[in-house]
A and B are shown apart, each in its own frame.
Chain A
Amino acid sequence: MCFRRSSVWIGVAKMVPARQKSVARTPNSVVQRKSKIKSYRQSYQSMTAASRLCLTRALTSLWLNTSRTAPKSDNILDKVDPRQLASLMKTEWQLSYVTPLYQFRYTQLKSYSRQLSAFMAAEKEQVEDGATQNFKVSFSVVHGLVETDYDAETILIQIYSKSFFAGQNEHQKPVWKGWLACVNGNRDYINSLPKEFISLPLFGSSGTEALTALVKSWFQKNFDCCFGSLEINHISLQWLVALWTNYHAESNIKQLQMIWTLPVQPLLQVSYAVNPVDAWELWCSVKGDQPELVDLSAGSLSSVSTALGSAKCRGQIKISNSKCMTTTLTLLTECALLKMPI
């Protein structure tokens, strides 16, 4: 498909986040979003006389980030163990949101590793009728992948296959990886939870669906939480484009690629590849004056990719550069918290 350069500009212009109408210029500046519902708090003192099943009502009206702060400049490599960071990068993760975990203890990770291995062995036995595949699970904390004191530390789960033929010393590649994270989670929301709960709203997994299902089911049974799929809607995708383009000055984004889906029969996908310099220039111009916006009619952005990372509307994300790790996870944490039932 061939597009004149101008049409690319149209596309990019549309891509500029719609949110700026209400507020923001860029992710760099502070974004104000008005909460729709005023916080309505119930006094916990009145609990005895209160309608008890509604204790949690206070939480229902809590809204999420009222401000989105600029990414801090401190280098993530200083905070996080590079090996652990490497295991989070360059993998395409399938995202889910998770309701807060009940009685999850960071001190019990070893025991969780054991329990999950046993659980998987038992479940697999059912599926494969006693096949000899065995799993070794490791839970670990990715220290430092947080932004505030309220954020719970990221948990990395890796599952290795214990094949009988593999040598003991051989370096093993995990057959499944997953993590639970909370970066820059809304402070009010996290504080409103009783202390038995830990909020790690963002879950990424990479591996077979069957294993993912097993891990989810184990978490559900042990920590009474629920997993739901987390799509990245097209506004969030636009934000990601903005975020990543903004890094161009520091590290080359190489090429900005965007795919729009147009609601026509048969479904039409329009793919744009934008020269990084053009994208950068456009981005700079957006930060300054308002360019003349032209709508790319009813299409919706379904996928974006740059050298820094890629994202798809179905909830897949890949981060290839540690620089934008925190900002990307912050945005995704916010998306996940928006999905919370209470």
Chain B
Amino acid sequence: MEAMQYLSESPDSINSSSNDQPVSNRNLNRSQRIAEKEKRKNEAEDPFVAAVKYFSDVEAGTPVMGNDVFEGNLVVVEKVAYAEGLPPDAISVMLEFAMSLRMGTSLCPRVLKCLIPATVVPQDAVVRAVAWLGVSKIPISTQVLFIKWVLTVFDMIDAKDQLRAIYGFIFSFVTEENLCPFICHLLYLLTTKQNVRVFRIRKLLDLQDRLGKQPFLLHLLSLYKVFCPELVTLSVPSRMKRGFRNHNSPWKSALAFVQKKNSAAIAPSAGVTLTIKDQSNRRKRKHCHLELPVLTCALNKESQAELSSNRKLVPLAHLRSFAELLENMHRIELPAQMGSLLSTSVALHYLDCVQEESALLRLNFWLGYTLREEFLFCRDGGATQNSDEALQFLNRLLCAHQFLQEGFSSSEGFLYKFLTVWDGCLMRPQILGLLSNIPVVPSYKMGQLLLEPLKQLYFTSSPFFKCGLLECLNGMLRNWLTWHSVYALEDNMDISISSHTSIYMTLSGLKDSVSQLVQFVDHLAVVGLQLESCHSLLLNFILDFYETVCDMFLKYGLPLVVLPSPGVFYPALLATDPVSVDRLAYIMHRYKVNLAFAKSQLKITEAFRISRQTFSDFNHYVVDMVNFLWNAKAFQSGVNVQLDEGILQRSKVPECSTSFDLVYHPAFMSYAIDFHHKCWPERKELDLSSIKHVKPWSWYVEYLFSQGYDGLELFKRTNINRWQPVKGDKEDSGTMQL
């Protein structure tokens, strides 16, 4: 009945339960369980469930010929298999059914052909089926078909430990001439260092004598040689032309189809496994810069002899799991080509600990070379022609950056060059992603290397590119700030005298860079908002950026407060969507908290001095915001925006000064009307001004807060002292005194 239980679950939960977490089932809460019971009841009549049940229960020796029940059930299973793939338990049942030959040998291939997994293949099922290979009289062609199937779904088998445990058993099939090529491939995928034994090598060499230099034997032997070079004396060509034959089995296309369909359901295999390259799949290319070098041991043994004589080194290529990496951390031998470190996650883990300067330099030489050859020097189109590979390569690089939480210097150097020729379209997400990872740029270099090319791209492209770029710069700023806070903490030094941060740079140098970046984005934002007539998506990305900026002091420990310019502040304040106004209020609230903190620190040390101008600018903004939203006195303070009366009249907005408070503000008007209806349901005529009386006003503001406008609420709490709103009376804003 376990099978039934699995079947009733959605593909996602199958996935999670097949991961070694049976506990998660128990943790399902009650409501879920009830829902599941319901579902199960419905599915009890599902023909597919019934069909699988048939195959699990069918007696041995049941005739096939003329058996309509059987035929019908198999058709049902096949239909499901080809449409959406089989769930793990159904795979188990069908595999067991086929391999046990309960209904004879003729059915076996047909059943095998429809074993298309939807998510994963349970390891037990495969192990049991391998066991059947030794027991029952399965025709050789069917045995081959089975091994081919295992090879095809190998990556989908949920665990490999038991399969590795029966390595010797699988190895015994190597003598079967027809099975040998496929068994070799399977062994190749399963081999660990422990499996390499002298008797196995001898057997393979015997076979080689008998069968000639077959590529499958050579491949397996070469893997053995990688693990135990002292045992395998055979000269194995260092690069083999053909890999294992590409098994063009019936499953490939069906599997691809099913996977595409269920792509959301299949979790990316984030496990730490070595990727084995299928060499035969490699497309011939004239320029193949984008290929990662294969992880191999250093070939130059002699030159390193003096090094390894002291202690036994373990080549990185031998390590298969994170645990093994940890065990051998102190004696790992770097690979021959550092570029290969990007290929697996174990290697990336190690890269994070590599201290050797020359190792990183090697990596950077390779990476810089590859990027430049592919995207800058290539005469015949380069990246545009091989966009798939280029995309994959950049994605992998981006992954590595994100994994290591920093960028490589060669990709930084490449980006500076590439930005000057970039059209803003080619691989945009990848390029922007890489860009946001570049380390702090000294301010004197920033303009020419980074800001100028970005400015040109920004002003000549669509609002969506503008948003993308702002997001990228926001990420860049956050990275810089994070590095700063991490290194400032690590050094455990007083921040004011901290002499180096993420790179050799004084605190003031970092502050220069950060403020230059913020000013640059501010400039982009102001002009962008004008060019795109206050595009609300753009405005939101700008506010995102300022959410990072306003918290630089408290969140990241960088004593710097930079305010947005009026060109950003007022469009946000007068935006037509309430979310933007609310976010602005939140940002102003955070500025206030940061400035208050700076002021309190000022009493302790002078190093936190924030300029008088910043305080005064902030105060003006707060006064204006309170005047606009609470006091209905827009455009009257005249400090930041001095608008001629004539211009205001020409806008044809009646009573300009009062039409931007929380009631009449275009962003909140709908709430005011809604509130009015709720407050006075009996009234026929809309009279919004009645909200402005003391009581309804306070209710209205509470009502707004209850709608999720937390930013406004926080703003009110930190900036408005008195809470006595009388119509016409002035709301007191909590400006900051120096």
Contacts and interface: CB of A to CB of B under 8 A. Distances in A.
A236 to B, nearest CB: 15
B723 interface: no
Interface stretch (A222-230, A255-263, A264-272, A285-293): A222-230
B406 A51 contact: yes
A108 B305 CA distance: 13
Contacts of B373: 228
B487 A52 contact: no
Given A103-B300, A221-B299, A224-B338, A50 B500 contact: yes
A118 interface: yes
A197 interface: yes
Contact of A194 (B361, B364, B444): B361
Given A55-B361, A197-B358, A341-B410, A126 B502 contact: no
B365 A55 contact: no
A102 B358 contact: yes
A67 interface: no
B500 A224 contact: no
Given A53-B409, A56-B360, A111-B302, A37 B445 contact: yes
A247 interface: no
Interface residues of B, number: 60
A118 B358 contact: no
Contacts of B365: 99-100, 224-226, 341-342
B503 A50 contact: yes
Contacts of A193: 361
B302 A56 contact: no
A62 to B, nearest CB: 11
A43 interface: yes
Nearest to A103: B303
A19 interface: no
B237 interface: yes
B407 A53 contact: yes
Contact of A54 (B241, B338, B406, B487): B406
Interface SS, B side: helix
A127 interface: yes
Interface residues of A, number: 50
Nearest to B335: A224
B500 A46 contact: yes
Among A59, A220, A221, which residue has the most Cβ atoms of chain B within 10 A?
A221
Nearest to B487: A49
A341 B369 contact: yes
A221 B410 contact: no
Given A37-B445, A100-B365, A122 B404 contact: no
B241 A126 contact: yes
A115 B373 CA distance: 29
Given A122-B238, A342-B368, A54 B504 contact: no
A49 B490 contact: yes
Nearest to B241: A126
Nearest to B488: A49
A56 B357 contact: yes
A53 B504 contact: no
Contact of A56 (B364, B449, B504): B364
B531 interface: no
B410 A220 contact: no
B382 interface: no
A60 interface: yes
B361 A342 contact: yes
A119 B238 contact: yes
A102 B299 contact: no
Contacts of A60: 409-410, 412-413
A43 B504 contact: yes
B237 A122 contact: yes
A100 B338 CA distance: 14
Given A60-B413, A226-B370, A53 B406 contact: yes
Interface string B460-502: 0000000000000000000000010001001100000000111
A196 to B, nearest CB: 5
B442 A221 contact: no
B372 interface: yes
Interface string A23-44: 0000000000000011010110
Interface in B167-190: none
B361 A56 contact: yes
Contacts of B459: none
A81 interface: no
Given A46-B503, A55-B361, A119-B238, A221 B369 contact: no
B502 A51 contact: yes
B395 interface: no
Interface pairs A-B: 10 shortest CB-CB: A341-B368, A122-B237, A226-B369, A99-B365, A43-B504, A126-B241, A54-B409, A60-B413, A46-B504, A57-B409
25 contacts: A43-B504, A49-B490, A52-B354, A52-B360, A52-B406, A53-B409, A54-B407, A54-B439, A55-B361, A57-B439, A100-B365, A105-B303, A108-B302, A118-B235, A122-B235, A123-B238, A127-B241, A194-B358, A225-B365, A228-B377, A341-B364, A341-B368, A341-B369, A341-B371, A342-B361
Given A50-B500, A224-B365, 17 more contacts: A46-B503, A51-B406, A51-B483, A103-B300, A108-B302, A125-B237, A126-B239, A197-B361, A220-B293, A221-B296, A222-B336, A223-B300, A224-B337, A224-B366, A226-B370, A341-B371, A341-B372
